[in-house]
Amino acid sequence: MAEEKLEIIKEASLQNNCPECFNKSLKLTFSQKHTYGKLIHRITKEVVNEMKCTKCGSIIYPVKWTDDIERSFDYYQKTVDPLKASLEFRPLFYILALLLLAFVGTIIYFIVMGIPSF
């Protein structure tokens, strides 16, 4: 089963007021989704964001954002540079591919040369 993780690409401290406790300590985090399996490691192009108050610990959803928070978010969203979506094969994949190739080669060899009779 593949394991999915959110890898942080950018964190920013905002000086906007929290809509819950009115403290000026918000943290904006942008994360990119990575999938780890036994055979492959996939980086998706999906970028997720989360805004959290460091004082009260509440997550600030877009419904509660003020115009100032919206402007700050738009600015930092433009500065995010996510990794390119890619697919990377792990060593187990190469070992299995090599074993499969050797097995198929052996079968073809015995078919072409004939099975030796004793």
Mean pLDDT of 55-78: 88
Longest Cα–Cα distance of the chain, Å, equals 89
Whole-prediction pTM:
0.74
Report the percentage of the chain scoring pLDDT > 70: 97
13 Cβ partners below 8 Å, 6+ apart?
25, 26, 27, 28
Of the pLDDT bands very low, low, confident and very high (cuts 50, 70, 90), residue 2 is confident
Task: Print burial letters for 69-101: b (CB count within 10 Å at least 16), e (below 16).
Answer: beebbeebeeeeebeeeeeeeeeeeeeeeeeee
- Ordered by start, the domain boundaries in the chain are 3-113
Mean pLDDT of 32-59: 90
pLDDT of 115 above 80: no
